[in-house]
Amino acid sequence: MCLVSAVSFAQYNSLAGQNAPAAAEPKRVERRGPNGDVKVEYVKEELKRDGYGNASGSQYDLAVDGAFTGQTVLLVDLYRQDFSRAAAALKQKGFSVVRYSDVPPLAEFKAGLAKSNQFWIIASCDDAVHLSKAHQQAVKAFFDAGHGVYLWGDNDPCNADADSLATMLIDARVKGDVPGDQTVGRSMAAGKPGVVSNHLLSTGVENVYEGITVATVKPAGAMTPVIYGSAGNLIAAAFESNGKRLLVDGGFTRLSYKWDSAGTGRYVMNAAAWLANYERFGNEVVAAEFKKAAAQK
């Protein structure tokens, strides 16, 4: 699991895994008086925060700006609302987005996956599973190869594709209809509203908007809670096992509604950085380079 206190990967900021930076030590300041005497003061510098109480500045995101330049997020967006601000947030970290508003033909879909770092799907609101079995099997092969998958659902009936894939991939579920539309802080315990502490996904996030009316995630055994809603239901959970990563989320409305509310942009950037799975693929690149260099000796 990615419950951490510090991470040293070059793609990550130094505060990765911390919801908030520790209070800075007071700065020593020398002031010279009119008579030449020197007076020493210790001045406490306040952390800059945005209007919702989260630390302000990209240095508090999980990933360094531009860290994933050249990487692609393949998105099937069946809800078809405004994704422009989420795409701009992903671009800040280097990701480009290839977005389909309908399920593409299977051959085109597989070709897109082959060029992508991760796959996201935002479910429709018509209670139908739109991905064919063949499309779902393509997602499973992509996931089994270690590439990240994000399944976005929302209140019933806006979750069929997310629920179907979650069930097939890891035996999790995302269903239900719970009133939300609140900003939640840090969760103090399992089932308590808020974002969990000390996870890469919650880096720099002390307050987050939950979504309008949300679904509930029923997690599988290897999943870690990420966000509990104001009603105490689990809205987002992360799966990590055997080098594979998956996010299941019951609040896709926060991608387009009240985007400027607490934490959404940072959370979306953190999610893409986490799903890039650099801990696995970065090490594989290093190992391949080492093997190549050894062969040339």
Section 43-59 average pLDDT: 83
Q: Which CATH number covers residue 106?
A: 3.40.50.880
Residue 16 within a domain? no
The parent domain of residue 257 ranges over 58-282
Residue 45 within a domain? no
pLDDT over threshold 90, residue 20: no
Based on the structure, what is the number of domains in the chain? 1
Residue 14 within a domain? no
Section 220-227 average pLDDT: 94
Section 75-79 average pLDDT: 98
Q: Rounded CA gap, 169 and 140, in Å?
A: 6
Section 161-175 average pLDDT: 98
Name the token pair of 127: 């209670």
pLDDT digits over 172-223, tens only?
A: 999 999 999 999 999 999 999 999 999 999 999 999 999 999 999 999 988 9
116 and 98 Cβ atoms separated by less than 8 Å: yes
Q: What is the mean pLDDT of the chain?
A: 90
Residue 29 within a domain? no
Packed helices 133-144 and 160-170: angle between N→C axes, nearest 10 degrees: 50
Percent of the chain with pLDDT over 70: 89
pLDDT over threshold 50, residue 290: no
The least confident of 87-91, 254-258, 259-263 is 259-263
Name the token pair of 221: 């055994």
Whole-angstrom CA distances from 133 to 84, 87, 136, 154, 248 are: 30, 28, 5, 22, 19
Section 134-150 average pLDDT: 98
Residue 41 within a domain? no
Residue 289 within a domain? no
Residue 81 within a domain? yes
